Structure formats: structure tokens, C-alpha cells
Amino acid sequence: MTQKPREWLREKSIAKKILSQADVILEVVDARMPLDTRNKVVEQLAKEKNKRLIIILNKSDLVPPEFLEKVIEEIKKEYPVIPFSAHKGKGVKELLQLIKNIAKEKKIIKVGVLGYPNVGKSSLINTLKKKKVASTSPKPGMTRGEKLVKLDKNIYLIDTPGIITLELQEDLALKGSYIPDKLEYPIETALKLIEKIISTKKEAIKETYNIEPEQDPLKTLEKIGNKLNYKIKGGEIDLDRTAKKVLWDWIKGHIRAYWI
Ligand SMILES: Nc1nc2c(ncn2[C@@H]2O[C@H](COP(=O)(O)OP(=O)(O)OP(=O)(O)O)[C@@H](O)[C@H]2O)c(=O)[nH]1
Ligand SMILES: [Mg+2]
């Protein structure tokens, strides 16, 4: 099932509003899946409105440097890109310098921080501000309205709710942008995720759950459930609970996989 169109339209209208107000857009993406979390709505609106857009590769602490380099090479063909980690404070100097340089051209600048839910928009703002001014949570959909944060005498940041495009719940969940407990078919979604991890960074399964992954995602999910001792009456493996656990582990960065 797709996200309710009305909800989507509301978010699109927020994106439109921010894109009209802002002088610069920071499009925050998840460095573990940088292309999947590039937001078409945001990029298209920025183009239409002729706004400067910078891609921020957040959560870069969760990927190795060689992978990050490859991603930077790829993205910089289209947009300026800054590797960042709100948790480790990485990229702060570069980003502040860039914003300050742009600010020199104007009396007041507004920087819109946009992207999918849960990519770390609010965390990035807190890190730049060196103070907790925006609420953050591992649960996608934390930030509801937009919020203006003063960074410097002439620089304002705008925190926003995650912008989603008209996509399947499942695809959003794989991006970490949908609450696993709200999924209609968490098992199917977890199987897709496991399949993706097996084909990109199989070792991550073993590192996280201490089981040898099977080529078959369902067998792997069963092994994980067994290892976690998630059982239902009669001793059968609770696949639903295991699936949600795997999806949460992915959202929380406990599974060290990544792909371009
Ligand atoms: N490992 C890691 N986790 C991060 C980083 N930045 C944010 N997170 C985590 O990602 C989750 C989401 O962070 P938020 O800042 O709330 O993300 P958001 O984009 O504002 O989310 P919404 O408001 O729901 O759209 C939280 O659990 C953060 O702790 C980072 O640089 N590294
Ligand atoms: Mg937020």
C-alpha cells in the first residue's frame, strides 16, 4: 500500500514552502544508502526554484572511508557534497565554512534542511548549533512542523519533517523512513532487506547476529529468530517479531551494511 496521498501532498507543500523561503538547501541523505535516500521531490523543486543545493552524506560514521570516497565521486558530478556525521561532529567545519561563505553575499540567509524521514536532519542542526535545539529520535517522523533555528547573527537553519515521495511503505522502510511496527507485511520487508544485505555485505549479518547467513533470506531470518530465541507458543519461530527487530536494527545502524 502507498502512503496516503493527502499526507504526501501536505509534505510536498511543506517542501515547496521551505524551498521558496530558503536561500540554500541542505539535502541530508543516509551515507549507508546515499542514492536510495536522495529525495527526488526536493531535488526537483530546488531545480525549479533555482536554489543552491548541497548534499550532506550524514551517518558517515557507519560506512568505511573507501565507500564514502566512491559515493562522493559519484554525487559530485551533480551536486556539491559534504561527508558528515552528526554523531561524531565530522564535516562540521567544512559545512559551516560553506554556509558562511554564502552568507557573505547576503544580509540574512535561510538554510533549509530537507530529506527523507530519519536521515538525521534534526541531529545535523543540533551538531552545527552545538546545542540540542531540535528533537531527534530513532523513530522516523519525529519532527512534525518546521522550526527556525538561529545559527549565527545572519544565518538561520530551518528544520523540517521528512519529505517522502509517493512510495510503497516497504521501500520507505528499507530507507529507514518508515516505522517497522506500522508495516502491513514486516516479514516481506525484512526479507527484502536481508536479501539486499546478503548481496552487498553478507558479513554484516554474522557480525550483528552471530549466525552464518544462508543464501535464502527466509532461512536467514529463521536462523536470526532462533538465535534471538523469539518463539511463539509451540516453539515455532516468531517471524513477525524477528522481522521487526531486524528492521529496527537496520534503522538504528546496528547492522553494518551499505550500498550505492
Ligand atoms: N550513527 C549515526 N546516527 C545518526 C547520525 N545522525 C543522526 N543519527 C541517528 O538517526 C536517528 C534519526 O535522527 P534525527 O535527527 O531525528 O533524524 P531526522 O531526519 O530529523 O528525522 P525526522 O524528524 O523523523 O524526519 C536518530 O536515532 C539519530 O541518533 C549520525 O551521524 N550517525
Ligand atoms: Mg527531525
Mean pLDDT of 233-246: 96
Is-contact 225 238, C-beta < 8 A? yes
Closest by CA position to 26, among listed 142, 139, 149: 149
**How many Å lie between the centroid of ligand 1 and the Cα of residue 150?**
20
**How many Å lie between the centroid of ligand 2 and the Cα of residue 123?**
7
Q: Report the half-sphere exposure of 223 (CA within 13 A, side-chain side).
A: 17
Among all bound ligands, the one having the nearest atom to the CA of 126 is 1
Mean pLDDT of 122-130: 98
Closest by CA position to 57, among listed 23, 25, 89, 91: 91
> 4 falls in which pLDDT band (50, 70, 90)?
low
Helix axes 92-103, 121-129, angle to 10 degrees: 80
pTM, to two decimals: 0.95
Least confident of 11-25, 41-55, 197-211: 11-25
State the DSSP H helix or E strand holding residue 51, giving kind and residue range, or none if neither: none
Q: How far apart are CA 159 and CA 146, in angstroms?
A: 5
What pLDDT, on a 0 to 100 scale, did the predictor assign at position 1? 45
> 165 falls in which pLDDT band (50, 70, 90)?
confident
Span 62-82, pLDDT tens digits: 999 999 999 999 999 999 999
Least confident of 5-14, 34-43, 82-91, 134-143: 5-14
Task: Please tell me what DSSP assigns to residue 193.
Answer: H
Please give the residue that has the higher pLDDT: either 111 or 106: 111
Give the mean pLDDT of the chain.
94
Q: What is the CATH number of domain 5-159?
A: 3.40.50.300
Mean pLDDT of 200-214: 97
Q: How many CB atoms lie under 10 A from the CB of residue 200?
A: 13
Specify the ligand 1 atom closest to the Cα of 123. Answer: 15
Cβ burial, residue 241 (10 Å; 0-12/13-18/19+) = middle
- The residue extents of the domains of the chain are 5-159, 179-251
Residue minimizing CA distance to atom 14 of ligand 1: 120
- What proportion of the chain, given as a percentage, has pLDDT over 70? 96
Grid coordinates given for 20 = 521558496
**Residue 9: pLDDT above 80?**
no
Mean pLDDT of 186-193: 98
Q: How far apart are CA 228 and CA 51, in angstroms?
A: 48
Would the CB of 141 count as within 6 Å of ligand 1?
A: yes
Span 77-106, pLDDT tens digits: 999 999 999 999 999 999 999 999 999 878
Q: How far apart are CA 240 and CA 5, in angstroms?
A: 27
Q: How far apart are CA 29 and CA 119, in angstroms?
A: 6
Contacts of 6 (CB under 8 A, 6+ apart): none
Mean pLDDT of 197-212: 97
